Structure 1
Amino acid sequence: MDAKLEFRMAEENDLDRIVEMLADDLLGSQRELYVRPLPQSYLDAFKSIASDPNNELIVACEGNEVIGVQQITFTPYITHQGGWRATIEGVRTSARVRGKGIGTEMIRWAINRAEERGCHLVQLTTDKKRPNALRFYEKLGFTATHEGLKLKL
C-alpha cells in the first residue's frame, strides 16, 4: 500500500463502489445486484444506516480511492449487565488490495471504535463457505464460542 490508509463514514456517493466490492466474490455475486443504476433498496438501506447513531458504515480509503468497507452496529443488551456489543458485518476489500493487510487494519480499527463506544464485546459471523475468512478472524483474536443460526425470510 502506497498511501496511508484512512477511515471515514461512508457517504452516499461511495455507495456504487461499496456494492461493487460486496458483489466481487463468489458468494457476494450470488446475493448482491451490482447494476447501474443501483437498485433503490441499496440507497434506502444506506439512508437508514446513515440516520441511525448506532450504525456506522465505514470505508477504508487509500488516497481518494475507497478500497474497503465494513458496517459496525452497536447494540445494547440486557445480558452482561446491560452491556453494549459491536457487530461487524459486510467486510470487504477491493480485489486489488486483498492479501496486503488492509482487512487486518480495518478490523483493528473496528475493535478500537467499539472500545471508544464502551462496548464489552465485538462479534461477527462469517459464512461457513469462507474458511479463509474464519482463519483470518481467528488470527485477529476472535474465537468461535457460539454456534450461529440464521433463518432466511
Structure 2
Amino acid sequence: MSDLEIRPATADDLRAIVDMLADDPLGARRESPDDLAPYRAAYERIVADPHQKLVVAVRDGRVVGTLQLTVIPGLSRRGASRGLVEAVRVHADERGAGLGARLIEWAIEEARRAGCALVQLTSDATRTDAHRFYERLGFVASHVGFKLAL
C-alpha cells in the first residue's frame, strides 16, 4: 500500500466521496449523488470544525476510500475524549485488498495523537461483513446503539 496517500478531503473530492456513500443498498436509499449542494454545505461545516477530520485515500490520483473522524471531548471516563469513526467507504474495485484496514489504522493513530482514550464506531445491523471486518481489527461489539430520525 505504499502507493496510497491518505490526505484531507478537498471540495474537489466530494463527487467521489458521495458516489462511494451511495454505492451500497443502504446508501442508495439515503444519498442523493445527483445534487451535491447539501454535501458542499456539510463539507464547509466539517472543515470549519477543528474536531473533524474528513480524509480520502488516493491511489494513482484517484479517490478510492474515505472516512470521517470526530474527536468528542467528554466528561465520562475521567474527562476522556473519544474518536468517532463515521462514513468508512472503500471504492468497489478496491475492496478486499486491505484499504479499509489502512483507513481504520489511520483513524486509530490520529485519535491517539489527539489524546483520545478510545475509538468507537457504529455499523448498521445489516452490515454483517463490516461487523466481521471491525472485529478483525480489534473492535468489540460492546454496546447497543439507538437512533431517532429527526
Which bracket does the TM-score occupy, shorter chain normalised? over 0.9
Q: In the TM superposition, what is the alpha-carbon distance from 1:39 to its structure 2 partner?
A: 3.4
- Structure 1's consecutive aligned runs of 4 or more residues displaced over 3 angstroms after TM superposition are none
1:78 to 72, 75, 78: 75
Structure 1: give runs of 5+ residues left out of the alignment: none
Identity %: 46
Q: In the TM superposition, what is the alpha-carbon distance from 1:4 to its structure 2 partner?
A: 1.3
CA RMSD of aligned residues (A): 1.0
Q: In the TM superposition, what is the alpha-carbon distance from 1:21 to its structure 2 partner?
A: 0.5
Q: In the TM superposition, what is the alpha-carbon distance from 1:40 to its structure 2 partner?
A: 1.5
Residue 52 (structure 2) aligns with? 55
Q: In the TM superposition, what is the alpha-carbon distance from 1:63 to its structure 2 partner?
A: 2.3
Contact 2:15 2:36 in 1 (8 A): no
In the alignment, structure 1 residue 108 sits paired with structure 2 residue 87: no
TM-score normalised by the chain length of structure 2:
0.97
Give the partner amino acid of 2:92: A
Which whole-Å deviations, capped at 9, do the CAs of 1:32-89 have from their partners, x for residues lacking one?
0111xx3311111000001100001010111211100000000100101111100000
2:41 to 29, 41, 44: 44
Residue 20 (structure 2) aligns with? 21
TM-score normalised by the chain length of structure 1:
0.95
Q: Provide the rounded CA distance (Å) in 1 between the counterparts of 2:63 and 2:36.
A: 20
Give the partner amino acid of 2:6: F
Contact 2:53 2:68 in 1 (8 A): yes
Give the partner amino acid of 2:74: Y
Q: Provide the rounded CA distance (Å) in 2 between the counterparts of 1:141 and 1:63.
A: 30
SS in 2 for 1:77: coil
Q: In the TM superposition, what is the alpha-carbon distance from 1:140 to its structure 2 partner?
A: 0.2
2:119 to 119, 122, 144: 122
Q: Provide the rounded CA distance (Å) in 2 between the counterparts of 1:98 and 1:22.
A: 14
2:129 to 132, 135, 139: 132
Residue 144 (structure 1) aligns with? 141
Which whole-Å deviations, capped at 9, do the CAs of 1:127-152 have from their partners, x for residues lacking one?
00100000000000000111111111
